[in-house]
Amino acid sequence: MNETTARTELVRLSRSLYERGYSVGSAGNISVAIADGLLITPTNSCLGFLDPARIAKLDRQGRHISGDVPSKEIFLHQAFYETRPQTGAVVHLHSTYATALSCLPETDPQDCIPPLTPYVVMRVGKVPLLPYVRPGDPAMGAMIRELGGARAAVLLANHGPVVTAADLSSAVYAAEELEETAKLLVLLHARQPRLLTTAQVDELHAVFGKS
């Protein structure tokens, strides 16, 4: 995707997330890889009202080249690009239900999102919970590097989800899928939903690949 298209798509998809309530206020940040670096939403910007010309641009060494001051969560974005070469975009939200799960002590830190439906298995994969650190703490980058590129998405404790994919629209769709599955899990909390079996999950990985 060339830089002009990447800017246009970043604005369009961010606005779409905002308009449908996946992000409120100035919460959340999104980045997309381009040929000579990456584009990322400016710090304190609202995903609903981005200006394509003011999106922050960083070069491949992480130096700020143009646009407004980049998101304070740049460390977590960079850690995903560095450890997962297949990453084309990173979406961080404070979406309600995924964030709710990130606050529950009973959430399994190795596997926050059990395989309830095929699409969360196909688009998101296994999601670990990373311990709480303050927004913008560089330690978040170190925690993501420790995963060694094995996970496409994480939940940040008491904070929210981070979802990656090979391109921007896939990362946005995966973030939506994660949020909707988290909503189902919260809705079904007092029940005991049937999960996909290991054989069913293996079949999804075999047919659609692993996130």
Laid out side by side, the sheet with 153-156 consists of 64-66, 56-59, 37-40, 29-34, 89-92, 160-165, 153-156, 129-130
Backbone dihedral region for residue 24 (phi beyond 0: left; psi -120 to 50: alpha; all else: beta): beta
Cα 37 to Cα 59: distance, rounded to the nearest angstrom: 4
State yes or no: residue 9 binds ligand 13P (CB under 6 A): no
140 is written with which tokens? 């978040």
Taking CB under 6 A as the criterion, the residue among 72, 104, 149, 183 binding ligand 13P is 72
132-162 burial: b if 16+ Cβ within 10 Å, else e: ebebeeeebbebbbebebebbbbbbbebbbb
State yes or no: residue 161 binds ligand 13P (CB under 6 A): no
Please, are residues 153 and 203 in contact by the beta-carbon 8 Å criterion? no
Residue in 9, 18, 22, 73 annotated catalytic? 73
Active site residue 132: no
State yes or no: residue 96 binds ligand 13P (CB under 6 A): no
Taking CB under 6 A as the criterion, the residue among 16, 26, 96, 117 binding ligand 13P is 26
Cα 76 to Cα 72: distance, rounded to the nearest angstrom: 9
DSSP string of 80-97?
Answer: HHHH-TT--EEEE---HH
State yes or no: residue 135 binds ligand 13P (CB under 6 A): yes
Active site residue 119: yes
Report the residue number, 22 or 201, with the smaller CB distance to ligand 13P: 22
Span interacting with ligand 13P, options 39-47, 100-108, 177-185, 196-204, rule CB under 6 A: 39-47
State yes or no: residue 28 binds ligand 13P (CB under 6 A): yes
State yes or no: residue 43 binds ligand 13P (CB under 6 A): yes
State yes or no: residue 73 binds ligand 13P (CB under 6 A): yes
Span interacting with ligand 13P, options 26-34, 137-145, 167-175, 189-197, rule CB under 6 A: 26-34
Taking every pair of Cα atoms in the chain, the longest distance, rounded to a whole number of angstroms, is 51
In sequence order, the β-bridge partners of residue 64 are 58
State yes or no: residue 71 binds ligand 13P (CB under 6 A): yes
**Residue 76 CB, nearest distance to ligand 13P (Å)?**
9
| Contact footprint for ligand 13P (CB under 6 A) | 26-29, 41, 43-44, 71-73, 92, 94, 135
Catalytic (active-site) positions: 73, 119
